[in-house]
Amino acid sequence: KAGVTQTPRYLIKTRGQQVTLSCSPISGHRSVSWYQQTPGQGLQFLFEYFSETQRNKGNFPGRFSGRQFSNSRSEMNVSTLELGDSALYLCASSLGLGDGNQPQHFGDGTRLSIL
Amino acid sequence: QKEVEQNSGPLSVPEGAIASLNCTYSDRVSQSFFWYRQYSGKSPELIMSIYSNGDKEDGRFTAQLNKASQYVSLLIRDSQPSDSATYLCAVIYGNNRLAFGKGNQVVVIP
């Protein structure tokens, strides 16, 4: 069974640009969550999508947005990039069913560097 | 109070010894707890999940959960150099939102 696939693996952007990251979940998984990982802050939750709807949202500014398609694939967009957005962006998928007990499985991440 | 706390600094253990990692969480109603292992430059990998009070063993790993004390731990028996990594404690809050601790780095010395 294929794992979570994130593209691209690496990105270099400049301040003010925007970026779109993609995530394909494990087959059959309907929940996709996005996280930002930095050395100082650790893993921080961005948002979660389930059945094309944002179900949970973390404490990030509106420049961070996402969406989910009918095939459960998800994209994350960051607009007006800032130097502080340099991080590893991780996507995780799970079955996402009601009680939230199912573990989340991570993709390899997209490393975003802002110059 | 942080949602998930892992306070110990880097842990160095000799090969073959037991590594013990601890984690506390703030939400009494949390029901799902996970340990992830993250090698340098890689993404987190799920190694244990635990939902009920008590111990759960999987190979050389044992997870322990005490909901009354809001405490979850991970023991690594017979530590191997390949166990050298950062271990992340994670707790599900609300509806499928994972909160992570900052992680504990484990170094196994041959």
Per-residue pLDDT tens digits for A37-82: 998 889 999 999 999 999 989 999 999 999 999 999 999 999 999 9
- Res A1: pLDDT: 67
CB pairs under 8 A between A and B: 62
Q: Is the minimum CB–CB distance between A99 and chain B shorter than 8 Å?
A: yes
Pairwise CA distance, residues A96 & B78, whole Å: 35
Give whole-number Cα distances, A22 to A7, A57, B2, B16, in Å.
5, 18, 30, 41
DSSP assignment, residue A63? Answer: T
Over range A25-34, report the average pLDDT. Answer: 94
Instruction: Average the pLDDT over B96-107 and give the result.
Output: 91
Count the alpha carbons within 13 Å of B18 in the hemisphere toward its beta carbon: 9
Residues 6+ apart with CB under 8 A from B81: B15, B108, B110
pLDDT of residue A102 exceeding 90: no
Contact at CB, A56 and B92, closer than 8 angstroms: no
Are A100 and B94 within 8 A, CB to CB? Answer: yes
Q: In this structure, how many other beta carbons lie within 10 angstroms of the beta carbon of residue A82?
A: 12
**Torsion region of B94: left, alpha or beta (phi above 0 gives left; psi -120 to 50 gives alpha):** left
Q: Work out the angle at residue A21's Cα, subtended by the Cα atoms of residues A16 and A25, and round it to the nearest 5 degrees.
A: 160
Give the pLDDT score at B94: 75
Say if CB B87 and CB B35 are below 8 A apart.
yes
User: What span, in angstroms and rounded, lies between the C-alpha atoms of B98 and B52?
Assistant: 18
B58 touches A: beta carbon within 8 Å: no
Cα three-residue angle B80-A4-A96, rounded to 5 degrees: 105
Q: What is the pLDDT of residue A95?
A: 87
Does B96 reach chain A within 8 Å, measured CB to CB?
yes
Given a cut of 70, is residue B26 above it in pLDDT? Answer: yes
Percent of chain B with pLDDT over 90: 84
Q: Which of these, A18, A19, A6, lies nearest to A90 by C-alpha position? A: A6
Confidence of residue A98 (pLDDT cuts 50, 70, 90): low
